[in-house]
Structure 1
Amino acid sequence: MPATDATLALGIIGAGIMGERLLGAIHGASESPVRVAAIWDPSPEALARIGSAFPAVPRVADAEAVVAASACLYIASPPASHLGYARAALAAGRSVFCEKPLAIDLADARAFVAEAGQAGAVNFPFASSPGVAALQRWIAEGVVGTPRRVAIAVEFARWPRPWQADAARWLDARSEGGFTREVVSHFLFLARRLLGPLEGISGRVEVPEPGLSERAITVALTAAGIPVTLTGRVGGTDKDDHNTWTLEGDAGAVRLRDWAIAERRAADGRFEPAPDAIPNARLRPITLRRQLDGVVRMARGEPHHLATFAEALAVQEAVEAILAL
C-alpha cells in the first residue's frame, strides 16, 4: 500500500474524455485533495495525448501498475471492463471510484455490490452539483410544495455526441452504449436521490438498426410513488445535447436545464435561472472538484455524499429495465 500523505494517491485507468476531464479538474485547482499517482490506457495514442496535455502525470505500463501506485483507483474505461478493474483494486486493499454503469451484466453487478461493501463510489456528478444544490434548497424552502410529477427530457442532434467520436464503437453499441445508459442514468439518479426508489417502468424503446443503440424512448415510471415521464430522442434538434429535469408540485416548479442551470417557475409561467447559475462548461470542473472531496472522504472511510455502489446498481436496474421494453 502506498504511504499515506496529505493528499490521496489516485490512480486512473482510462485516458479518454472522462479521465482527461478529471485530470483537468485536479490540475486546474490551486490546491487539490488528490494527486495523480499513475494513469494507464490500452491505447498508446490516448496515453500520448494525456502525456502532451499533462506531462507531469506518471504513465505506466499496465493496469496492475496503476493499482500498485494508488490508494484509490478511478475507473474511466468502457463499461465492460469496470468490474474486472474494480475487483482487482479491492483485492489489493484500494478503494474504488468508478464510472457508471457498474457493469454490462446485471447479475455480475449485483454480485459485485453484495461483495464490495462500502469501499467505493460511482461518479454521478449530480451528487456534487451546485445546480442540484439550488434545487434542493428551493425544495426545502417550500417552492415546490407537495411534489406531483417529474418530467425528464433529453435530446441529441446525433449519437454519440461529437466529442465522443473516439468512443463511438462502444457508445453506440446495443450491449453497453446508448444515451439511456450514458445520459438518462444521471437524471434517474437525480430522481432517486431527491425523491426515492424508481419503480413501475413501462413504455417503448426505438432501436431502428440491429446492434446499434436506441434512437428514441418514451417511458413512464414512479419515484417514491411520484409519476415520472421520460422522453429521449436522437435527431429533431440542432443541439449536441439538450436536457431538462423538472419537478412540479402543488405550490410551484423547479428544473435543472442543460446539466447545470437551476431554474424556478415564475408567476407568469416562465422558468427563471438562479442568480448564480453558470453553464455546464464552466460548472463542470467545480462539480468535479467537489466530487474529489467526496472521493477523499470515501477513501478514508468517512461519511460522504457520493453515489454508493447500491445507488448506482438501483439506477442501472432501472436503465436496463427501460432498455428491455
Structure 2
Amino acid sequence: MGIIGAGIMGERMLGAALDHASHAVRVAGIWDPAPAALDRIRARFPAAPILSDSASLIAASDCAYIASPPASHLGHARAALAAGKSVFVEKPLAVDLADARAFVAEAGDRGAVNFPFASSLGVETLRRWIGEGAVGRPLRIAIEVSFATWPRSWQADAAGWLDRRPEGGFTREVVSHFLFLSRRLGGPLAGLEGRAEFPEPGRSERRVAATLTAGGIPVSLAGTVGGTDRDDHNTWLIEGEAGAVRLRDWAIAERRAPDGTFHPAPDALPNEKGRPIALRRQLEGVARLARGEPHRLATMQEAFEVQEIVEAVLAG
C-alpha cells in the first residue's frame, strides 16, 4: 500500500500499516507535496519509505491510499486506476458530485472508501444486539454531534481547508461517518429535508439539522459547534418496539435498560483503544480489495450516497 498525503489520516494509517505489516500489508511508501509534512513523518517513522512524487508511489503500490485534501482525491485515484492499481480513498470522494458519480462508475469494485465504522468493534456489537432482537422493529435513528470548536483542537494545522465551505466542515468530516452507519445498518438513504447555518463569512457550517430515512427508518440529525466543552461528543441511536441501542463517542456500544438508562457492553473500548483495532481491520480489507476478494470496506456507491446527503444538507 502506498500513501498519498501525510496529514493526520495518512500518518495514522502509516502507523497502523507499519505495525500490521507482517499480517496484511507492506508499506510501499508515502508522499506529500509539503516538505514539512514529510519531515514530520521522517521523525516519527524513520523506517518508512518516502517517495519523490505521486507517480512513483503509485507505481510501487498494489493499492493507493489517498489521504490528501478532498479536491485532489480523484486526480490521484484516477491515476492509480489508470496504472491498474486499486484505490482506498478518504471521504468525501470529491468536491463535485457529478465528478464523484462518474468516478464511482469508473472505479467499480477496484475502489473503497475509508469509513472505519465498517470495521468497528462497537458497531459489531450493535449489529449483534440488533440481530438478537434488542431493538425489534426499528422506529427511528437519531444522530447527534457536537464540538467545542471547529476544527477540533488536534486539527488546527488543517484549518486552511477544513474550516472552509468548499472542502471542509463537520458535516463532511464527522456526520458522514454516522450517515454511513445509518446506511449500513438501516438501508439506502432518501427523503432528505435539512439546513445548515454559516454565521461566519467564509467559514464552514456551525449548525445543521435534517431529517431523512435509512431503509425506510426515520432518521433525525442534529449537529452544532459550541454545544459542548469537549473536542468531540456524538451519539448514534437506533430505537425500536423492543428497545434501543446506541454508539457513544465513536466507539462505545450501549444498550438501554428498562429504567431508561444506557449501559455499555462489558467489553466496550473507548475510541483511543478501539480506533487502532478498527484501522488494523480496515487494512485487512485493503489487502482483500487489492486481491479482488470480498471485504467489509465501504463501497464507492455507499460513499457516494452519503456524499449526496451531506452536500444536500450543506446546500440547504
Equivalent residue, structure 1, for 2:151: 160
Matches of 1:236 and 1:275, distance apart in 2: 29
1:149 to 140, 144, 152: 140
* Deviation (angstroms), 1:137: 0.0
Q: Note closer, same or farther for the CA distance 1:41–1:98 as it changes in structure 2 (3 Å cut).
A: same
Pairs within 5 Å for 1:165-314: 165-314=156-305
Matches of 1:221 and 1:118, distance apart in 2: 28
Equivalent residue, structure 2, for 1:46: 37
2:56 to 51, 65, 68: 65
Instruction: Count how many residue pairs are aligned between Structure 1 and Structure 2.
Output: 316
* Deviation (angstroms), 1:43: 0.7
Matches of 2:37 and 2:30, distance apart in 1: 11
Q: Is the 8 A contact 1:24 1:285 kept in 2?
A: no
User: Is residue 89 of structure 1 aligned with residue 80 of structure 2?
Assistant: yes
Question: Which letter maps to 2:253?
Answer: A
Identity of aligned residues (%): 72
Matches of 2:106 and 2:205, distance apart in 1: 32
Helix, strand or coil for the counterpart of 1:57?
Answer: coil
1:33 to 11, 18, 24: 24
Matches of 2:45 and 2:23, distance apart in 1: 15
Helix, strand or coil for the counterpart of 1:222?
Answer: strand
Matches of 1:141 and 1:116, distance apart in 2: 36
Q: Is the 8 A contact 2:251 2:271 kept in 1?
A: yes
Helix, strand or coil for the counterpart of 2:269?
Answer: coil
Mind listing any 5+ residue stretches in structure 2 that lack a counterpart? none
Deviations 1:137-190 (A, max 9, x none): 000000000000011000000000011111101000100100000000000000
Deviations 1:255-313 (A, max 9, x none): 00000000000111110000000110111110000000011111100111100111111
* Deviation (angstroms), 1:224: 1.4
Matches of 1:312 and 1:37, distance apart in 2: 26
Deviations 1:110-150 (A, max 9, x none): 11111111101000000000000000000000000000001
Q: Note closer, same or farther for the CA distance 1:315–1:281 as it changes in structure 2 (3 Å cut).
A: same
Question: Which letter maps to 1:225?
Answer: G
Matches of 2:167 and 2:3, distance apart in 1: 21
Q: Is the 8 A contact 1:79 1:103 kept in 2?
A: yes
Matches of 1:259 and 1:32, distance apart in 2: 26
Equivalent residue, structure 2, for 1:116: 107
Q: Note closer, same or farther for the CA distance 1:157–1:195 as it changes in structure 2 (3 Å cut).
A: same
Q: Answer with 180-189 or 197-206: which moved more.
A: 197-206
Helix, strand or coil for the counterpart of 1:302?
Answer: coil
* Deviation (angstroms), 1:30: 7.8
Q: Answer with 296-305 or 28-37: which moved more.
A: 28-37
Question: Which letter maps to 1:53?
Answer: R
TM-score, length-scaled by structure 2: 0.98
Matches of 1:258 and 1:31, distance apart in 2: 31
* Deviation (angstroms), 1:29: 4.1
Question: Which letter maps to 1:232?
Answer: G
Matches of 1:46 and 1:91, distance apart in 2: 27
Helix, strand or coil for the counterpart of 1:34?
Answer: coil
Q: Is the 8 A contact 2:161 2:167 kept in 1?
A: yes
Question: Which letter maps to 1:21?
Answer: R
Deviations 1:22-72 (A, max 9, x none): 122123348431111111001101001001111111111111111111111
Question: Which letter maps to 1:304?
Answer: H
Q: Is the 8 A contact 2:21 2:27 kept in 1?
A: no
Q: Is the 8 A contact 1:16 1:46 kept in 2?
A: yes
Following superposition, which runs of at least 4 residues in structure 1 exceed 3 angstroms of deviation? 28-32
Helix, strand or coil for the counterpart of 2:204?
Answer: coil
Equivalent residue, structure 1, for 2:128: 137
Matches of 1:322 and 1:30, distance apart in 2: 39
Mind listing any 5+ residue stretches in structure 1 that lack a counterpart? 1-9
Question: Which letter maps to 1:69?
Answer: A
